[in-house]
Structure 1
Amino acid sequence: MNKKVGKMTLSMALAAVLAFAPAQAFAPAQAFAAPATDISGHWAEKVITQWQEKGLISGYEDGTFKPDNSVTRAEFVIMLNKALGFTQKGNVTFSDVSANAWYYDAVAIAVEAGYCAGYEDGTFKPNATITRAEAAVMIAKAKELTANTEAADKFADASRIPAWAKGSIGAVSAAGFMTGRTDGTFDASNTITRAEAVSSLDRTMEKEENEEVKDAVVTKDDTV
């Protein structure tokens, strides 16, 4: 056989194999990542593991999750979008969010969902760590909760909760989405950790699922 013809035949055969090969064979490696190596015994181990199994969140390339690390604003909107199933994109006008940024689509979705307003200077600050107060405001807006300043007054540090976040903090607390510290404070100005973010957002998912089930139940003559 002519060597040139033989090479061409082999190339065509390989191309045919690749064209009809299962898509899973080319899935990203992280899609099949094992559970994180650094969450054993952590208070949020169960919920983090569940989120990883569902593909809602991934760890780092070294196999860790770093549950106590802070979360950036970009990372948080990605998590919130996934938790509540938001997918529609809006028009991004933030001066510091470029169209080729890895988080652009997530921010666009957050804008359309109506929970992401940014700052007065027109920025979003995607790489800045998000505080517990900011996280509470985003969750409250995403869930369309009514402001509840009275519920925020129960925290020992209520006087230190910023006015722009007090109603949202009270709302997410009353709804059971976010909890305070063991010392009775909410710790609004501190950053939210990866473990805290997953736990809080998981509770919003549970509430939604329970509400959907409740809406679907029809009772008649004691029969459900």
Structure 2
Amino acid sequence: MLRRKFLLSALCIMMFFCGFSSAHAEETKLKDVSEDHWAKDTIQWAIKEKIVDGYPDNNFKPEQVVGQKEYIALLIRTFKPSDFSLDDPNNTGDWSYPYTHFAFSYEWYVIVPFHQPEGYDIGLARGQAAKIIADATGKNFNQQDSIRYLLDNGFVEGKVDNSLDGFKEGDPLTRAEALTIIKRLHSKMDKLQKSPEKTVKYEPKSEK
């Protein structure tokens, strides 16, 4: 009986360490994302879910400003809407076309830069990204009202504090911050929404 208990205990210990090793083996080692990086778990989640990849040099560039096309693609890859398709006969080969086309069809806020070289991706400020997120929840507010709405309903957190000023709408949005916002959104809703055609005024729950 004692021998049997010993063998069972040994087996449990082996299974624990094997499971622990397997979990760590699944992590993608990135040269510029340290073990104590504030967004490490979110970045690993996004890679595991095939939402984003690192760069060929095994860097992730978490502090690089996220492009609008990239941001919209991350949002769509996270939610995997049933009416989204990568196949479109009108696509001339631009990787971002299916994503931006979907955003336009959902009436989301999209900046169209004119007279830019092919493949150009405009960098997003935090306020612009908030407007896209608010649209994706089925609302149509202006940029500042979008921020107030998202903060009030816990869809996002501010950069300094949870006030309009603390959100820092003019600051550039980094790749790590973009994933953090999108992951938080995904934890609160499971389906992307179309934005109404008409912009309305948001009535905040509290003055901030």
**TM tier, shorter chain?**
0.5 to 0.7
**Corresponding pairs, count:** 155
What is the Cα deviation at residue 192 of structure 1? 0.4
In the superposition, relative to structure 1, how do residues 122 and 111 fare at CA in structure 2: closer, same or farther (>3 Å)?
farther
Whether the aligned pair in 2 keeps the contact of 1:88 and 1:112 (CA below 8 Å) is no
SS of residue in 1 equivalent to 2:29: coil
Task: Return the alpha-carbon distance in structure 2 between the equivalents of residues 146 and 115 of structure 1.
Answer: 9
Task: Return the alpha-carbon distance in structure 1 between the equivalents of residues 110 and 73 of structure 2.
Answer: 15
In the superposition, relative to structure 1, how do residues 128 and 146 fare at CA in structure 2: closer, same or farther (>3 Å)?
closer
Would you identify which runs of 4 or more consecutive aligned residues in structure 1 move more than 4 Å?
119-123
What is the Cα deviation at residue 82 of structure 1? 1.4
Structure 2 residue aligned with 1:100? 93
What is the Cα deviation at residue 73 of structure 1? 0.7
Whether the aligned pair in 2 keeps the contact of 1:137 and 1:169 (CA below 8 Å) is yes
- The AA in structure 1 aligned to 2:94 is A
- The AA in structure 1 aligned to 2:158 is G
Whether the aligned pair in 2 keeps the contact of 1:35 and 1:52 (CA below 8 Å) is no
Whether the aligned pair in 1 keeps the contact of 2:156 and 2:185 (CA below 8 Å) is no
Structure 2 residue aligned with 1:69? 64
Structure 2 residue aligned with 1:129? 123
The normalised TM-score by structure 2 is: 0.65
Task: Return the alpha-carbon distance in structure 1 between the equivalents of residues 167 and 115 of structure 2.
Answer: 28
SS of residue in 1 equivalent to 2:157: coil
Structure 2 residue aligned with 1:53? 48
Whether the aligned pair in 1 keeps the contact of 2:127 and 2:143 (CA below 8 Å) is yes
Which residue, 165, 171, 187 being the options, matches 2:143?
165
What is the Cα deviation at residue 174 of structure 1? 1.6
What is the Cα deviation at residue 168 of structure 1? 0.5
The normalised TM-score by structure 1 is: 0.61
Whether the aligned pair in 1 keeps the contact of 2:72 and 2:103 (CA below 8 Å) is yes
Query: Is 1:191 the counterpart of 2:172 in the alignment?
Result: yes
Whether the aligned pair in 2 keeps the contact of 1:67 and 1:195 (CA below 8 Å) is yes
Whether the aligned pair in 1 keeps the contact of 2:160 and 2:167 (CA below 8 Å) is no
What is the Cα deviation at residue 119 of structure 1? 4.7
Task: Return the alpha-carbon distance in structure 2 between the equivalents of residues 115 and 122 of structure 1.
Answer: 22
Q: CA RMSD in A?
A: 2.9
Structure with max Cα Rg: 1
SS of residue in 2 equivalent to 1:60: coil
Query: Is 1:81 the counterpart of 2:82 in the alignment?
Result: no
Runs of 5+ in structure 2 lacking a partner?
1-25, 191-208
